[in-house]
Amino acid sequence: MQTCRIVVAVIVLHLLAGCAAFKDTPRQDYTWEMATRCRASPAGTGAAYVARVDPDGRWSANTQSDGWRTDCPKLFECMQEQLQATPYRQWLEQLQRGPFP
């Protein structure tokens, strides 16, 4: 019975550690936030959206319809604007300071 408890405890610890490994990197969090700003902007990005963000912050786009010619350029332009308006280091410093000065 004691051996069974130990085995179960080890399995649970491995599962918890595995879930923690799937947390996004700070670069991913930054890129996702910039993408969220683009989707929420009044100009909008149409049917285009950021579909995936790699751990180093590189991202790829997709579209829900035939918006490659019209909507993807809007998304790429907005992402460039957001990335320039709030550089990564500035965003990271704001994140570390917290929401209140």
Number of domains in the chain: 1
Q: Per-residue pLDDT for 36 more than 80?
A: yes
pLDDT-derived band at 32 (thresholds 50, 70, 90) equals very high
In a domain, 90, yes or no: yes
CB atoms within 10 A of CB 39: 13
Nearest-angstrom CA–CA distance, 64 and 12: 39
Three-class DSSP labels, 26-64: HHHHHHHHHHHHHHHCCCCCCCEEEEEECCCCCEEEEEC
**Structural domain that includes position 89:** 24-97
Residue 47 included in any domain? yes
Higher-confidence position of 28 and 3: 28
**Residue 65 scores a pLDDT above 70:** yes
Q: Is a pLDDT exceeding 60 seen at residue 9?
A: no
Mean pLDDT over residues 83-90, rounded?
Answer: 96
Flag whether 73 is in a domain: yes
Question: Coil, strand or helix: which one is 89?
Answer: helix
Bridge pairing between strands 48-53 and 59-63: antiparallel
For residue 1, tell me if it sits in a domain.
no
Residue 43, pLDDT > 90, answer no
